[in-house]
Amino acid sequence: MSRTLASGKVSTAMTIANARQRAIAEGIEVRQVDGSSLWIASSGTDPQKAYVLNIIGGNVKNCTCRAGEFGAYCKHRAAWELAREAREESNV
């Protein structure tokens, strides 16, 4: 679903939308490590794997998945942001 621009780069909005769709479709779950800035995200493709997200100041600083290691906006980050949005909506 990513859109390649004339420059050869993929649209950021499309990358985020694609990651969010994949996170939902693959049922990625996130859980906070008690008392820390670390969160664990399930793998969407391998039930034996999980990835660590480091959250600082309400922002994902990194994810240990392959895409995240290269600084890409990954589906695990998207899952964390979707969960944060759901928590914020429930507090309104």
Domain range list for the chain: 12-90
DSSP-assigned beta bridge partners for residue 53: 39, 63
Angle at 28 between CA 23 and CA 63, to 5 degrees: 85
Per-residue pLDDT reduced to its tens digit, 29-81: 999 999 999 999 999 999 999 999 999 999 999 999 999 999 899 999 999 99
In angstroms, rounded to a whole number, what is the distance separating the alpha carbons of residues 71 and 58?
Answer: 17
- Any alpha helices (H) in 1-92, and if so which ranges? 12-25, 66-69, 75-90
Give the tokens for residue 69: 């290691």
pTM of the model: 0.84
Three-state secondary-structure class, residue 31: strand
